[in-house]
Structure 1
Amino acid sequence: MDHTKNYTMGTDITPISTALTTSYLKTGFSTEPTDDTILDRFKRYVEASPDKEALVIADVDTVKREAISFKDCDDLSDNLAANLIKEGVEINDVIAILMPNCKEFIVSWLSLLKCHAYPAFVSFNMRKGDDLKNVLNELKAVGVILHTGRSEGFYRIIKDVFGRLLDFKQDPDVPNLKFVVAIGTCLDGALPYINMVRTTTELELQPLHERVATITMDSPCAILQTSGSSGHPKLVVHRHFGMVNSFNCVAIRLNMSSSDRYFCDRPMTWGAGLFGLAVACIVGLTVITVDTTMSVAGRDIHSILQIISKEKCTRGLMMPYMLYDMLELPSVRKYQLDAFTKFWTSGQRIPNALLEGVNKTLPKASMIIGYGSTEMLWVSSQLYNVASQVDQTGTIGYPFPGFEIKITDGDDKVVPIGTPGNIKLRSYQMFTGYYNDDKKTKEKMKDGWFDVEDFGYLTEKGYLVFISKTCDMIKRGTVLVAPASVENVILNHPSVNNVIVVGVPDPRLYEELCACVILNHGDTTTEKAIVDFCNENLTEQTLDGLALTPKFVIIMEEFPRLPNGKPDKTTLKKIAADKCAI
């Protein structure tokens, strides 16, 4: 492994030469951005390796394994796009994609790119689906490509949501919607996917060729939903230029190439899942995915590691919950993971105890901790087990190329180096705006600067430190308390597996600290023991003289989670408030 300074920073950037004195940083390029579209890059790999697997839907039972080649992706997406144009899809129409991880997903996305449409990746409440029509109306979607699901329950939801449209060809609840393309079980009134991808003639493809010719680097390539962790999910628009160059820089930093096999368990309708599909098209590698319930709800890390081994994965995403589950195994040596040499993790704060445990468990693999947002894509990354770790300890790494970062106070003034404040970002890869919401776009972007609504600071060497989501800061008395400062100490308790500190209502101080704790499996440590540990180790006081020991500790079996797997802190705060009510 190359442990030079440039490696730890990433070969995609030019490191700063002098220490920073103020909280502003602009990163340079080692490789100039490209004007290629996603389709330009994808076509190269179709021509270079037509029979190579682009996407694998893996399973421990190899009989259930499915794969699709680059050539088949290209041919089938051509046919689907041609038929969508025949159905009346116009340039910049919004078409929603609603399906689990499957071969049809990459075909559907590529077909919408070829149509020069807006592909909108939609998630919804799987138990009811009552929010789905609202999302479709926000998007003004004219069509939906969906999978009818692998369960009777899901099929009933789909029939309930789209029944009136399919029966009467129009539904006043979703007035813009004109058609549904259905994959899987027959859905009366829908356009069968299997018919839409059948071979078309060169004459039928001619309108498609004319449409593709209109696509540029500024054309839309995705509408993503935010997680909704700070309120109602927003609809984020990205263009080809930003996505190609952002993911290309990530590929360089992760040392990805077309020979790699990339593992990702996340739904493709989410940013982390879409990243896998995108790098397949942009870098030409093979992406390996699975049934997304296997890792979170199923906690089946045994099967995950078996698949990573069998599929000879060399790169991938390992979310924190998977890392925790992996550390509970007696040994991972039997899985033969030597080929899996670099992976990234993200989505929440990663405690040092977890980092050290993973480093011992997978000593031959380099772990990258990524930081970003739906709007900005990848912002920075820390390469954990490398020579200059001392410079990166406690940080979320050095920003990717083409970023401007500033840390500001409440008056939007740049603060001195090392001073906590609001993280503001500007970049060529940032989103173009929130779909059909100019007001929200203007609120979040001023003079091209995007407010991430995160609290943190820059070190003099240019590393970014994340303290907390601005909305997570706890206002106790006259002082804002960063939950991470308390969580980092509690995580050092040998019985603690995970912890989230939230604010609960207090009639005198406005909020008090409550530590929601998950213990290691089988541990019986009490709330009082956690409080005693805090009293011994949280010796600092805030400026108003109050200690940082939480007033309340709640031991829980698990945290409520958002659909994307992140902790649902809004629900957690409600649970804590109910338990701690005075």
Structure 2
Amino acid sequence: MLNLSIVLEDSARNAPDRTALVLGDLRLSYAVVDSVANQVANLLVARGLGRGDKVALLCPNLPYFPFVYFGILKAGATVVPLSVLLQPREIIYHLTDSDAKALFCFEGTDELPMGARGREGFDGTQGCEHFFVLPATPLATESEYGESFWAALDGMPGEFETVRTGPEDIAAILYTSGTTGRPKGAELTHANLLINAMVSDQMFPADPEGDVSLAVLPLFHSFGQTSVMNVSLRRRATLVLLPRFEPGQALELMRREKVTMFAGVPTMYWAMLSKIHADEAEVPPTLQVAVSGAAACPVGVLKDFEATFGIAILEGYGLSETSPAACFNQLSRPTKPGTIGFPLWGVEMRLVDSDWNTIQGEGPGEIAIRGHNVMKGYHGRPEETAEVLRDGWFRTGDIATRDQEGYYAIVDRTKDMIIRGGFNVYPREVEEVLMTHPAVSLAAVVGVPHGSYGEEVKAYVVPSTGAMASESELVAWCRENMAAYKYPRTIEFRESLPMTATGKILKRELR
């Protein structure tokens, strides 16, 4: 018996009255969070859902997320967290690909109409039978989009005996993507996610007074899910939820709630430092642990942060396929700015060439990882799983060097992935959508340097013969057809694109 929900249950048993979640003025104890998660589990079982069934969750950083996430796990089902920025076409793809039987969907806001998009996606998916609306108005029992969460939970008991799952049962399917375009679901087991949370937790000493963690990284993403939510709940910390990052608000919450732990992407650190320097905003005095991942943090930001906050940012590395943490600057050894540190406990790393042969010395080479954190495989994709997994080793597609002390530094990506503000954008996926527009004959998408986002998405387009579309028309069309972080902000028209003899587009000449 092993179930990831133990990170919540154990804390609720041992510290029931401690504050688990904070959202604005709302404070919820561990006992309350666990009780609502039990109601969710009872609801799923009552609707005929249980072990092995996939249940999707489309929700920003709100108390609903842990309620539903742990309720799904308790019922023995598999949780499929979805990006809150997905458009209906993309939601249909994810629900269909994961074989989801139910969708819990936040109602959304005028700026982010998730309820409308989720409903359209649900209605367009065969085999997805249940749609639960997480209402924007607290405790509302009605919604224009369908059955309200609170109405569905009415009468459901607050006790539930967690279904006996095994270490190798799949706890979550997290969607990622390679240069092959369409997103793939990484199957992560209860053992993968639980051990990753435990090892990540043990890297940092706990505050004797009780830790307070700020959750602004999206919980639907592996970094926010494991390194923030699961670690925080396991150490009986208070999780302060911030649905959307805004530097002034983040700094204010850190001060007001006496935040001790923060995990973010480099652009968040850059934005907070800019705010402090521009507006002479007060530096939060209680922060003890600062963690960065998802992209390389500029050394200038690392130095500025340490000078301003008095603590170093600990940089790490991981992927959805590795639950996610794999390598980190850890407190047991000196921090090396510009590196991703050394492998976590129980994780092995090596550098390999294109034929999986080990590269000795400093490299460079492609990072391969083996350990408790490596996924079971890609859901329903045996060929693509076989390409990246061999003898328990997972090849990451990331090129790195390794110094004499075993610290790794990322050099480049073998994938053409763009990282925009911490979000992964896969050019092939954007190109495929672009090429469905009648005015587009050929498209190539690349990342171009950007001051605050790190990279911005740019498309080069060869127009269809006789077709006319302006840059602004195409950008507007893209915005309607893909998630907000994906669509190209600039489009350059070309008569032709540079290519190799075999017809492969030479993207390095476009960058």
Q: CA deviation at 1:114?
A: 0.9
Aligned-partner Cα distance in 2 for 1:404–1:436 = 27
Q: CA deviation at 1:328?
A: 2.0
Residues 282/563 of structure 1: CA separation in 2 closer, same or farther (3 Å cut): farther
Alignment match of 1:184 (pick from 135, 138, 142):
135
Residues 37/576 of structure 1: CA separation in 2 closer, same or farther (3 Å cut): farther
Is the contact made by 2:85 and 2:484 (CA closer than 8 Å) also made in structure 1? no
Q: CA deviation at 1:243?
A: 1.3
What are the superposed Cα offsets for residues 139-196 of structure 1, whole Å, 9 maximum, x if unpaired?
111111111112284443344334xx4xxxxxxx422111111121634583321023
Q: What does residue 144 of structure 1 align with?
A: 103
Q: What does residue 40 of structure 1 align with?
A: 6
Q: TM-score, normalised by structure 1?
A: 0.68
Q: CA deviation at 1:436?
A: 1.7
Q: What does residue 345 of structure 1 align with?
A: 292
Letter in 2 for 1:192: S
Match of 1:223, SS?
A: strand
Q: CA deviation at 1:94?
A: 0.4
Q: CA deviation at 1:124?
A: 5.9
- The reply to whether residue 286 of structure 1 matches residue 238 of structure 2 is yes
Q: What does residue 441 of structure 2 align with?
A: none
Q: CA deviation at 1:218?
A: 2.7
Q: What does residue 550 of structure 1 align with?
A: none
Pairs within 5 Å for 1:285-364 = 285-292=237-244, 295=245, 300-331=246-277, 335-363=282-310
Is the contact made by 1:369 and 1:381 (CA closer than 8 Å) also made in structure 2? yes
Aligned-partner Cα distance in 2 for 1:244–1:201 = 26
Match of 1:375, SS?
A: helix
Q: CA deviation at 1:67?
A: 2.8
Is the contact made by 2:326 and 2:373 (CA closer than 8 Å) also made in structure 1? no
Match of 2:370, SS?
A: strand
Letter in 1 for 2:193: M
Pairs within 5 Å for 1:137-286 = 137-151=96-110, 153-162=113-122, 165=123, 173-184=124-135, 186-187=142-143, 190-200=146-156, 208-209=160-161, 212-226=162-176, 231-256=181-206, 259-275=210-226, 276-286=228-238
Match of 1:131, SS?
A: helix
Aligned-partner Cα distance in 2 for 1:515–1:236 = 25
Aligned-partner Cα distance in 2 for 1:356–1:315 = 19
Aligned-partner Cα distance in 1 for 2:352–2:489 = 29
Is the contact made by 2:60 and 2:84 (CA closer than 8 Å) also made in structure 1? no
Is the contact made by 1:38 and 1:282 (CA closer than 8 Å) also made in structure 2? no
Q: CA deviation at 1:48?
A: 1.7
Aligned-partner Cα distance in 1 for 2:374–2:347 = 9
Aligned-partner Cα distance in 2 for 1:200–1:156 = 27
Letter in 2 for 1:255: P
Pairs within 5 Å for 1:122-141 = 122-123=82-83, 125-126=85-86, 128-141=87-100
Is the contact made by 1:45 and 1:70 (CA closer than 8 Å) also made in structure 2? yes
Alignment match of 2:38 (pick from 46, 58, 78):
78
Residues 136/313 of structure 1: CA separation in 2 closer, same or farther (3 Å cut): same
Q: CA deviation at 1:438?
A: 1.7
Q: What does residue 49 of structure 1 align with?
A: 15
Residues 468/40 of structure 1: CA separation in 2 closer, same or farther (3 Å cut): same
Aligned-partner Cα distance in 1 for 2:145–2:2 = 39
- Rg bigger for which structure? 1
What are the superposed Cα offsets for residues 534-553 of structure 1, whole Å, 9 maximum, x if unpaired?
xxxxxxxxxxxxxxxxxxxx
Aligned-partner Cα distance in 2 for 1:564–1:464 = 33
Q: What does residue 379 of structure 2 align with?
A: 435
Residues 387/181 of structure 1: CA separation in 2 closer, same or farther (3 Å cut): closer
Is the contact made by 1:219 and 1:240 (CA closer than 8 Å) also made in structure 2? yes
Residues 518/238 of structure 1: CA separation in 2 closer, same or farther (3 Å cut): closer
What are the superposed Cα offsets for residues 484-525 of structure 1, whole Å, 9 maximum, x if unpaired?
xxxxxxxxxxxxxxxxxx9xxxxxxxxxxx9944469xxxxx
Q: What does residue 349 of structure 2 align with?
A: 405
Aligned-partner Cα distance in 2 for 1:105–1:444 = 31
Q: TM-score, normalised by structure 2?
A: 0.77
Q: What does residue 365 of structure 2 align with?
A: 421
Letter in 2 for 1:137: T
Aligned-partner Cα distance in 1 for 2:447–2:254 = 35
Is the contact made by 1:257 and 1:285 (CA closer than 8 Å) also made in structure 2? no
Q: CA deviation at 1:220?
A: 2.3
Q: CA deviation at 1:99?
A: 1.3
Is the contact made by 1:79 and 1:196 (CA closer than 8 Å) also made in structure 2? no
What are the superposed Cα offsets for residues 390-431 of structure 1, whole Å, 9 maximum, x if unpaired?
xx3542101101112121223322122112111111111211
- The reply to whether residue 451 of structure 1 matches residue 407 of structure 2 is no
Which 5+ residue runs of structure 2 have no aligned equivalent? 137-141, 419-426, 428-445, 453-478, 498-506
Aligned-partner Cα distance in 1 for 2:272–2:180 = 30
Match of 1:423, SS?
A: strand
Is the contact made by 1:280 and 1:286 (CA closer than 8 Å) also made in structure 2? yes
Let me know the Cα RMSD of the aligned residues.
3.3
Residues 150/564 of structure 1: CA separation in 2 closer, same or farther (3 Å cut): closer
Is the contact made by 2:19 and 2:27 (CA closer than 8 Å) also made in structure 1? yes
Is the contact made by 1:57 and 1:101 (CA closer than 8 Å) also made in structure 2? no
Residues 140/95 of structure 1: CA separation in 2 closer, same or farther (3 Å cut): same
Residues 305/427 of structure 1: CA separation in 2 closer, same or farther (3 Å cut): same
* The 10-residue stretch of structure 1 (266-275 or 188-197) with the greater mean CA deviation from structure 2: 188-197
Aligned-partner Cα distance in 1 for 2:408–2:85 = 35
What are the superposed Cα offsets for residues 421-447 of structure 1, whole Å, 9 maximum, x if unpaired?
111111112111111222211111011
Match of 2:318, SS?
A: strand
Q: What does residue 108 of structure 1 align with?
A: 68
Match of 1:237, SS?
A: strand
**Fraction of identical pairs, as percent:** 19
Which 5+ residue runs of structure 1 have no aligned equivalent? 1-34, 59-64, 166-172, 474-482, 484-501, 503-513, 521-559
Q: CA deviation at 1:82?
A: 0.9
Residues 419/581 of structure 1: CA separation in 2 closer, same or farther (3 Å cut): closer
Aligned-partner Cα distance in 1 for 2:303–2:172 = 37
Is the contact made by 2:204 and 2:289 (CA closer than 8 Å) also made in structure 1? yes
Give the number of the structure with larger relative contact order, counting CA–CA contacts within 8 Å between residues 6 or more apart.
1
Q: CA deviation at 1:453?
A: 0.4
Alignment match of 2:77 (pick from 102, 117, 128):
117
- The reply to whether residue 370 of structure 1 matches residue 301 of structure 2 is no
Match of 2:16, SS?
A: coil
What are the superposed Cα offsets for residues 61-100 of structure 1, whole Å, 9 maximum, x if unpaired?
xxxx323221111111112211211111031100100112
Is the contact made by 2:179 and 2:415 (CA closer than 8 Å) also made in structure 1? no
Letter in 1 for 2:35: D
